[in-house]
A and B are shown apart, each in its own frame.
Chain A
Amino acid sequence: MIATLLVVLQVVVATAITPLLIGVMRQVRARLEGRIGSGVLQPYRDVRKLLAKEPLRAEGSSIILVAAPLVLLVSSLLVVALVPLVTTANIPAVPNDLFVVVSILLIGTVALALLGLDAGTAFGGMGSSRHMMIAALVEPTVLMSVYALSIPVGSSTLSKIVVARGADVTRVVTPAGLLAVVALVVVVLAETGRLPVDNPSTHLELTMIHESMILESAGRDLAWLEVGSWLRLTALLGLVVNLALPWGLADSMQPLALLVAVVTLGVKLLVAGGVIAAAEVFMAKVRLFKVPELLAGSFVLAFLAVTASYLAG
């Protein structure tokens, strides 16, 4: 029961903080590029605006146009509920197994790809095709990192991994642990459509991946898509920061512990987001056909992490 309450709290906190994270990332980038920026609260205003606008439905599109954004949103919420962000507690019947988390992310990926195909436009198909190619090639790195992280603990359950890393600082700085986290960072960038894999603020259809799949969505459909994608970023980034700095998470309902957990999460997330945004200013999007090389590189890191943990252990 307490675990359920903690999970509910985590979902609420993460959902509330997510637009702020996006706002901070955009603002950091704007300032570094010499622009004033629209303020860190702009994403909240964007969502409010989109929810009030009428959704459109183009000729030739189907129920997928309505369903896919909702599927993406619910799958992202589910990931946020499972990943240890605020709390390491989890509902006993639903352990936050990393393989399960990854496959729930894939549900969202598939929903987006089908949405891209739905209206039958050239851009949608293009985005969908590229999106699925990247998703397919990311998969080996994802599962290999999961593998590397789970070897020392003997379990692929996330909260066990985080607790074990938090209890023993030497685990965090082992070569295997570091390599796995670095590989995961590349995964997060690719899965959430950040530079250098995809440019979240592009306005040219031919270079789009994520944006070209959601071209046909408007109003609340677009709002669900935006929030769903942002939540994926929160969950994955939160996972990486909690693996790298596994401290401050609450495991009980004590108000003080909860407050500490929420604040730590906010600070970790906003700092990590700010660092990513700052790095993006100095980075260009790589050619689509260079992305597999990047992913192959991160796969090698993850593979080394696995063999290192077998040989060192």
Chain B
Amino acid sequence: MTAVGGLVTVLTLTALAILLAFAAPPRYRSVASGGASMGIGIAGVFTGIAGITSVPQAVLVVPIAIPGGLGIDPLLLSPTPLGGVFCVVVGAVGAIAALYGIGYAHGPAASRTGWSAFAVFLLGMLIVASAGDVVSFLLGWETMAIASTVLLLADHAERPAVRTAAVWYAVMTHLSFLSLATGFALVASKAHSTTFTQISAAQITGPTGIAAFLLLLIGFATKAGLVPLHVWLPRAHPEAPSHVSAVMSAAMVKLGVYGIILLVGSWLPQVARPFAILVLALGVLSGAYGILQASITSDLKRLLAYSTTENVGLAVTAVGVGMLLSNAGQDAVATIALVAALLLVVSHAAFKTVLFLGAGTILHATGERDLDRLGGLIRSHPVTTWTFGIAAMGAAALPVTSGFAAEWTLLQALVHGDGRANTTLALALPVTLGLMALTIGLGLLTFVKAFGMAFLARPRSEAAATPAPEFTSKPGSAAMGVAQAIGALSVLALGLAVGPLATAFSSVLGYSGIITSELGGLRLVTIGVLDPYALGLVAVGLAVPVALLVLVLRRRVPRRETDLAWGCGGVRTSPRMEYTATSYAEPLVRVFGEALRPTRSLEVSHHAEDHVLEHRVAFAQEVSDIVEDRWYAPAAVWLRVAGDQARRVQNGSIHRYLAFSFAALVLVLVVVTLP
């Protein structure tokens, strides 16, 4: 399939999905429209592959007729190799999430609006990833923003928190749009064209370039959820239906990373150079702050949302490292860092999809997303347990998942960057490595906590003790399990296929220093090799004697079931004595108390007859986002005050409005007559 054919298919299928959402009887709506949405995703994958491989690029030109022309070029939809990578990510995530949605979507998410918005959401993202000019990019960007807001609002009637989340999201995403539109306007006016190739060729510099760079960076960083512009993420992801959260987190925020890569690599590379430290700082801080918040929260979906900030932060860190190194003339290592960024993007897309889908299944089964009230789901939900476990391994970057390969590549780029080149590098590289290591360490703790608290141990609440079954007789119910399994398999497959994957990415970036090793692993020429197959073979070789020994011993000494776990002297321990997610993270809250500023309250009430005996102990802890409290809350107050003041202008008098119109007209005339 050519890229053009793919895009036409995507458009057709979107129309079909909307049609089916409205025409199909409610009972079959999810199957019909969700199936069409899945088709959009698959067509997106093929479009992306065609974009990566096809030379010269196929271009879908949509001539637009605006009276007067306004100097806007026709819309170009042509996935570049880089855009193709993101097309594949968006398409694959969209297809898996749509499949899951067939079984999962219920209530408003499965309504006509819900499924139409889902299809339009996928279309918008695919347009962004394949846009070849400013106008179609912004068109796709806004389509994606509106459709996702509609999807986020699905459960607004049930939970008031959804409305707050949607307001935060709508405001942030439109600030992002505004910032992008302004930035693009500056760039396009300088380049006298709206196509990306012309913009790159114009080599814009100077104050306009710097202003445009900063505006575009803010716009993309907001969408990518980088600190301090991440505040919408931990609100929106938990409140959206889980298959939508999966697409938002695994695919949509990646387009912010796509934008940043294009911005620093292709549109404004000269302007971007001095800002390498800024990009790096954005990435590193997002990584550390995101994972710190994720490690202490007990809301599963909020945890996953903050972990998205972390992973996007790592990808942007890789971009920043690449910029710094290429400033120092170390282009080979710089490209390795960029390949690491793409690997991080792809691996995060895979495992985060599965994690959000798993969270959806847990929510569906127990009505809980609070880890403090979950537990023991390994017995009733084996498929979810294993798929979530595999994805959590990817998120914790354990070998041999692709998450590990990606971080290994980035670490190698850091270590092989030559810090002797200049002082900036000599300091930036080790500081980056230190913070990245902390991020990796806390990530490990976070996902041990998430998996252990949800699936292991004994249920911590009534709802978790009696979960709904994993599979029901509802049509399409198996789709949930199948989608999770496909996702988990792709996490494993990406880990095993990391060699060809990295080779493909390096050729996307026009670099030949990364090749596939003999057994199919990843070889960075002159640096090192990471071969999941060889490593796996050695591990199997070592496991065989152990396994034989176990088999012999199993026959000789069978295992015995007992009913008591150790309770410090034989007391039958109650599940209430278990460690919860909050207590699991308590040491961290203490260690990082200065940075997190938790608010805690402890109330002890005593027995009436004896004041020494304690009757009840109530403990409450809340850790809010300090960025939100310190920066956004005052800004919101200030805006409100400004709004109240501005209201005075409007007093309803027709004379005043006529005066305003006259003043505006005069102003316009003055501006127009100025030379």
On A, residues with C-beta under 8 Å from B are 11, 51-64, 66, 70, 73-74, 77-78, 81, 91, 93-95, 97, 99-100, 103-104, 106-107, 109-110, 113-114, 117-126, 128-130, 132-133, 135-140, 142-144, 146-147, 150-151, 154-157, 205, 215-216, 219-220, 224, 288-289, 292, 299, 303, 306-307, 310-311, 313
Given known A119-B457, A307-B427, A311-B426, contact A155–B527 (CB-CB < 8 A): yes
Q: From the candidates B414, B444, B538, B575, name the one contacting A110 in the complex (CB within 8 A).
A: B444
Q: Is there an interface contact between B441 and A310, defined as CB atoms closer than 8 Å? A: no
Q: Is there an interface contact between B519 and A93, defined as CB atoms closer than 8 Å? A: yes
Question: Per-residue 0/1 for B454-490: is the Cβ within 8 Å of any A Cβ (1 yes, 0 no)?
Answer: 0011100000000000000000000000000000000
B655 in the interface (beta carbon within 8 A): no
The 3 closest A-B pairs by CB, nearest first: A125-B579, A139-B441, A120-B457
Given known A110-B398, A114-B452, A136-B442, contact A120–B584 (CB-CB < 8 A): no
Q: Is there an interface contact between A56 and B560, defined as CB atoms closer than 8 Å? A: yes
Q: Among B412, B419, B427, which residue has the most Cβ atoms of chain A within 10 A?
A: B419
Given known A121-B566, A147-B415, contact A103–B404 (CB-CB < 8 A): yes
Chain B residue with minimal CB distance to A112?
B448
Given known A118-B457, A120-B578, A138-B441, contact A57–B560 (CB-CB < 8 A): yes
B530 in the interface (beta carbon within 8 A): yes
Chain B residue with minimal CB distance to A305?
B430
In whole angstroms, what is the CA distance A289 to B451 when docked?
A: 25
Which chain B residues lie closer than 8 Å to A122 at the CB level? 573, 577-579
Q: Is there an interface contact between A121 and B567, defined as CB atoms closer than 8 Å? A: yes
**CB neighbors of A among B540-598 (8 A):** 542-543, 546, 550, 553, 557-568, 573, 575, 577-579, 583-588, 590-591
B408 in the interface (beta carbon within 8 A): yes
Q: How far is the CB of B188 from chain A (nearest CB, A)?
A: 43
Given known A60-B376, A60-B458, A70-B546, contact A95–B584 (CB-CB < 8 A): no
Q: Is there an interface contact between A129 and B530, defined as CB atoms closer than 8 Å? A: no
Q: From the candidates A11, A103, A120, A125, name the one contacting B583 in the complex (CB within 8 A).
A: A125
Number of A-B contacts (CB under 8 A): 243
Q: Is there an interface contact between B587 and A288, defined as CB atoms closer than 8 Å? A: yes
In whole angstroms, what is the CA distance A289 to B542 when docked?
A: 38
Which chain A residues lie closer than 8 Å to B399 at the CB level? 100, 103-104, 107
B539 in the interface (beta carbon within 8 A): yes
Q: Is there an interface contact between B550 and A70, defined as CB atoms closer than 8 Å? A: yes
Q: Is there an interface contact between B426 and A136, defined as CB atoms closer than 8 Å? A: no
Q: Is there an interface contact between A140 and B441, defined as CB atoms closer than 8 Å? A: yes
Given known A93-B518, A103-B399, contact A62–B419 (CB-CB < 8 A): no
B616 in the interface (beta carbon within 8 A): no
In whole angstroms, what is the CA distance A310 to B444 when docked?
A: 30
Q: How far is the CB of A292 from chain B (nearest CB, A)?
A: 5
Which chain B residues lie closer than 8 Å to A144 at the CB level? 430, 433-434, 437
In whole angstroms, what is the CA distance A109 to B443 when docked?
A: 13
Q: How far is the CB of B232 from chain A (nearest CB, A)?
A: 27
Which chain A residues lie closer than 8 Å to B442 at the CB level? 136
Which chain B residues lie closer than 8 Å to A133 at the CB level? 445, 587-588, 591
Q: Is there an interface contact between B433 and A130, defined as CB atoms closer than 8 Å? A: no
B535 in the interface (beta carbon within 8 A): yes
On B, residues with C-beta under 8 Å from A are 295, 375-376, 378-379, 396-399, 404, 408, 411-412, 414-416, 419-420, 426-427, 430, 433-438, 440-442, 444-445, 448-449, 451-453, 456-458, 517-519, 521, 527-531, 534-535, 538-539, 542-543, 546, 550, 553, 557-568, 573, 575, 577-579, 583-588, 590-591
Q: Is there an interface contact between B584 and A125, defined as CB atoms closer than 8 Å? A: yes
Given contacts A100-B408, A151-B415, could you give 10 more A-B pairs where the C-beta distance is less than 8 Å? A59-B562, A60-B376, A70-B550, A73-B546, A93-B529, A123-B568, A125-B457, A125-B578, A216-B565, A289-B587
In whole angstroms, what is the CA distance A84 to B354 when docked?
A: 38
Q: Is there an interface contact between B528 and A114, defined as CB atoms closer than 8 Å? A: no
Q: How far is the CB of A95 from chain B (nearest CB, A)?
A: 6
In whole angstroms, what is the CA distance A125 to B584 when docked?
A: 7
Which chain B residues lie closer than 8 Å to A140 at the CB level? 434-435, 437-438, 441
Which chain A residues lie closer than 8 Å to B586 at the CB level? 129
Q: Is there an interface contact between B441 and A137, defined as CB atoms closer than 8 Å? A: yes
Q: From the candidates B426, B529, B559, name the one contacting A57 in the complex (CB within 8 A).
A: B559
Q: From the candidates B416, B530, B557, B578, name the one contacting A97 in the complex (CB within 8 A).
A: B530
Q: Is there an interface contact between A77 and B557, defined as CB atoms closer than 8 Å? A: no
Which chain A residues lie closer than 8 Å to B456 at the CB level? 62, 64, 114, 117-118, 120
Given known A100-B408, A143-B433, A310-B419, contact A121–B578 (CB-CB < 8 A): yes
In whole angstroms, what is the CA distance A151 to B412 when docked?
A: 11
Which chain A residues lie closer than 8 Å to B416 at the CB level? 154
